[in-house]
Structure 1
Amino acid sequence: MADSHEAKSNDETTHFGYKTVKADDKQKMVADVFHSVAGKYDLMNDVMSFGVHRLWKRYTIEMSGVRTGNRVLDIAGGTGDLSYAFAKRVGPEGQVVLADINASMLQVGRDRLADRGIAGNLEVVQANAEALPFADNEFDVVTIAFGLRNVTHKDIALADMYRVLKPGGRLLVLEFSKPTHNLLNKAYDFYSFKALPIMGRLITQDADSYQYLAESIRKHPDQETLKNLMTDAGFDRVTYHNLTGGIVALHRGVKA
């Protein structure tokens, strides 16, 4: 993976929402967003999705095929929704690693999971998705929910997720995507750019972070493009399932 990182120029630019920024600066800018909203993150998710994000995550868990004794890596796991469900499924014989690059989000997640009685089979690790601090072939399942769009070099991150999976292991990417119907797309645009920043200001006193959220969703690869990125990273049998009319999509791939 080192060669891939070295190949990236210091002058490389990327997108932070609709802004063009230096690639080296994006990680800190995204970190600032999540430091700002960490304390109200779960409440805001419930409000802005009308609670539907819980159904999207439940579907991801069912599609993961996680069983007793499995090792699961939950990247960008934030406040721990998926990690909690996975920890219950793998049991004391298994292990779940809750990983996030953002210390504020990890602290909220660690506290929430401890309050809910999850401890023995859970590890919390601060980690960059582009340089995962784990051995090759270590996990049965890797998930990343609503985090890939914030990663600067998605190709590098997907390749590293492939590396840490065991042969036959599965990657599941749950992410905002491209609505499949034009009218829904127009309504979603109106909601995202008009309502979300207002909700952010009222609930988290931070409209700018939710303006970034709306913009980052639009810059994220659509369903077919992400499928191709996963295939290029080495994944086999890559499929995706549109949820809520394609507002969200769940991609799934297998390590051969």
Structure 2
Amino acid sequence: MSEELSGTFGYAHVTPDERERRIRAVFQAVAGRYDLMNDIMSMGIHRLWKRAMARMAAPKAGQVVVDLAGGTGDIARLLAGPGRKVVVCDPSPAMMAVGRERCPSGVDFVEGTAEAMPFPDASVDLVTIAFGLRNVTSLPAALTEVSRVLRPGGRFLCLEFSRPLALIRPFYDAWSFWVIPRLGAAVAQEPAAYEYLVESIRRFPDQRTLATVFADSGLIDVGWRNLSFGIACLHHGTKP
């Protein structure tokens, strides 16, 4: 998986460290307009997807919740509430600077990657990640790290772009490969960054394959729910 992804955006034959550095540069470049671009690219639908994930997460008082790759805080704001601790863990200081301005005081921010989170073993009740799992340098390593920080019975929720139904796939592909990079050029002034983001979606595992990877990592009660005809998918699993 990591070898396949390493070919994206000119990443063939680069080390994981170099790939991570380049991905960080992408998000450094687009941080200030990232949420605006998401609204434009998805026509606002990404907010409905994220609310669906927050409803499935349903965090409770007393729980510790970590939102991975959630720098701008849009998921954290949905998960925050009385009596619970919500922490955004993101490798991009620029993205987290945007998030700190937008989030309530009860949300904390720490720098870290999915493969190396700064939390003790078995200390987290819920880990969420929205549209970030496809950017990790090693999917197996990220899932191993998620399992490490989760308490027994803790849950992992992943919202990610996936494989849409065949009927709408030609229209979706045309939007992704022709419209989104041009929007990136016009709005975020970073067409190359959005070419990478689109390509990373194309190379990411489909629903069934990702569920198999979850199960192979040791998670149980693995399943998924398609959103918008499979354009996005909400995956879930539980630590035994």
Deviation at 1:132, TM superposition (A): 1.1
In structure 2, the partner of 1:195 is 179
Q: Match for 1:151 among 115, 123, 136?
A: 136
Cα distance in structure 2, aligned partners of 1:13 and 1:77: 21
In structure 2, the partner of 1:225 is 209
In structure 1, the partner of 2:157 is 172
Q: Which consecutive unaligned segments of at least 5 residues does structure 2 have?
A: none
Specify the SS of the correspondent of 2:12.
Answer: strand
Deviation at 1:183, TM superposition (A): 3.0
Deviation at 1:17, TM superposition (A): 4.1
The amino acid of 1:101's aligned partner reads: P
Q: Match for 1:128 among 65, 89, 113?
A: 113
In structure 1, the partner of 2:236 is 252
Contact 1:170-1:253 at 8 Å conserved across structures: yes
> Does residue 74 of the first structure (1) align with residue 67 of the second (2)?
yes
Q: Sequence identity, in percent?
A: 45
Q: Match for 2:6 among 4, 10, 14?
A: 14
Contact 1:13-1:21 at 8 Å conserved across structures: no
Cα distance in structure 2, aligned partners of 1:13 and 1:33: 15
Contact 1:75-1:143 at 8 Å conserved across structures: yes
Contact 1:18-1:219 at 8 Å conserved across structures: no
Contact 2:89-2:117 at 8 Å conserved across structures: no
Cα distance in structure 2, aligned partners of 1:171 and 1:243: 18
In structure 1, the partner of 2:222 is 238
The amino acid of 2:20's aligned partner reads: Q
Deviation at 1:12, TM superposition (A): 11
Contact 1:169-1:255 at 8 Å conserved across structures: yes
In structure 1, the partner of 2:54 is 61
Cα distance in structure 1, aligned partners of 2:10 and 2:51: 31
Cα distance in structure 2, aligned partners of 1:13 and 1:50: 27
Specify the SS of the correspondent of 1:183.
Answer: coil
Contact 1:77-1:145 at 8 Å conserved across structures: yes
After TM superposition, the runs of 4+ consecutive aligned structure 1 residues lying more than 3 A away are none
Q: Match for 1:207 among 187, 191, 195?
A: 191
Contact 1:72-1:97 at 8 Å conserved across structures: yes
Distance 1:13 1:146, change over 3 A: closer
Contact 2:5-2:203 at 8 Å conserved across structures: no
Specify the SS of the correspondent of 2:53.
Answer: helix
Corresponding residue pairs, total: 238
In structure 1, the partner of 2:89 is 99
Deviation at 1:176, TM superposition (A): 0.4
Cα distance in structure 2, aligned partners of 1:179 and 1:80: 27
Cα distance in structure 1, aligned partners of 2:118 and 2:133: 17
Deviation at 1:122, TM superposition (A): 2.0
Contact 2:124-2:150 at 8 Å conserved across structures: yes
Q: Match for 1:36 among 26, 29, 51?
A: 29
The amino acid of 1:86's aligned partner reads: L
> Does residue 140 of the first structure (1) align with residue 125 of the second (2)?
yes
Counterparts of residues 37-52 of structure 1 (less than 5 Å): 37-52=30-45
Specify the SS of the correspondent of 2:49.
Answer: helix
Specify the SS of the correspondent of 1:230.
Answer: helix
Distance 1:201 1:74, change over 3 A: same
